[in-house]
Amino acid sequence: MKIAAVRLYKVRSGNTGERGAEFGESQYWGGGWQTHALIANPMSVYSKYARLRSLWMGPGQDPYAIEILTDEGVTGCAVNYGGGPMACLAIAQHFSRFLVGEDPFNIEKLWDQMYRSTLPYGLGGVTAMAISGVDLALWDLMGKALQQPVYKLLGGQTKETIPCYVTTHPDLAASWKNSGFLGVKVAAPWGAADRRDGLAKMQQCLERCRLELGSAMELMVDCYLSWDFEFATRLAERIQGIDVKWFEDPLENGSAEKMNAELRTHISPIQVAIGNLEFDYKAFAAILTERACDVIQPEMQWCGGLTAVRRIAAMAKSYGVPVIPHGSGVYNYHFVQSNLNSPFAEYLSVGDGMTVRPIFDAIVGEPLPVNGHVTLSDAPGFGVELNRDLIQPLEF
């Protein structure tokens, strides 16, 4: 079996699905609370762009779909909610030379060739998002060729069902009480740019969330790189007794492993969860070496795909650090199902932020949580297909 062609697609706007920056302020990816609610972010320091993420995001945050075809008629596919046309350009004009005519089962070699070939201009961002899409499509292809679900190719079933926590806006947290989810992660509306006023508002916000959720559910906070050391430590002091499980990505990424390691010691027993916006697997090695986190959170669709996350998980195991992939969807679920060191997964609410619905409109067959748990089928590959009504071929 040889790879015969690689097809790339733009994802058109669905009901509440994968809308990227190109669709404008009113239709940012996910819709609902992700579009209209106040959420602290790395650009919150600039008042012109603080209100909505879609005001500053660019084409690197647009989605794309990929399909890899073989000479024996077996096809693998994936949808990535990052990378957009920039990632597709790298795949079409660069990575295709390593793929067409090659054995699709040689995933390690193909991944390494893509990785090494981008060292002069990559090591993250859209190049990693491009590698991720190719890698996930190859794993899907392998599963379909062997008529096995991907999780069985990775080591099999480690849990009957996958417990999940749900991510939403704090204004919507109460709607998830008694939902079966193990906890709620709320997107922080305020961060370091809001100074002392932001501290008071975040304190009141988390006190309200704990009161609404009761004592049985975990409560986590997604800081989206918008806090700093002072903000995180002062807030941790203010919310003692609220029982917050973790602060996620409180500090800027890139070279913050030493500061995150120091932050851990200052805010314990609140945990530090990081990795969402790290890209090179070597960065995760540095984070783990510095013991800069309690939970490691690679984003499978951004950091190099399943192949990269397997490497990160192997490193994390020796440090006793659980791997809870950032983001939501079928790709993460197959990894979590197969990995003993991944006790649960994230479910990202979209649309109204109060109900369970598919994350992706551009794929058909996405498994959804029932009573807060995802159960995977034995369908081959990732068990999903492209929604042809929502994709448009790209030519380069």
Point out the residues that are catalytic: 326
Q: CB of 165 within 8 A of CB of 347?
A: yes
On the question of a cis peptide bond just before residue 322, with omega within 30 degrees of 0, the verdict is no
Task: Indicate the Cα dihedral angle 296, 298, 303, 304, nearest 10°.
Answer: 100
229 Cβ contact list (under 8 Å, min separation 6): 251, 259, 262, 263, 266
In the numeric block, which tokens belong to residue 21?
């920056």
The phi-psi region of residue 134 (left if phi > 0; otherwise alpha if psi is between -120 and 50; otherwise beta) is: alpha
> β-strands 246-248, 271-274: how paired?
parallel
Query: Considering Cα of 34, then 37, then 43, then 46, what sign does the dihedral take?
Result: positive
In the numeric block, which tokens belong to residue 231?
């903000």
Strand partners, 73: none
Alpha-carbon distance of 372 to 356, in angstroms, equals 9
Determine phi and psi for 49, rounding to 5 degrees.
Answer: -115, 0
In the numeric block, which tokens belong to residue 393?
């071929």
The secondary structure of 61-121 as a DSSP string is: GS-EEEEEEETTS-EEEEEESS-HHHHHHHIIIIIHHHHTTS-TT-HHHHHHHHHHHTTTT
- Give which of 274, 204, 266, 195 is closest to 236, Cα–Cα: 266
Alpha-carbon distance of 129 to 140, in angstroms, equals 17
- Give which of 180, 185, 237, 174 is closest to 211, Cα–Cα: 174
* Angle, in degrees to the nearest 10, between helices 305-319 and 330-338: 40
104 Cβ contact list (under 8 Å, min separation 6): 1, 2, 3, 68, 70, 76, 110, 138, 141, 142, 145
Q: CB of 156 within 8 A of CB of 338?
A: yes
DSSP 69: E
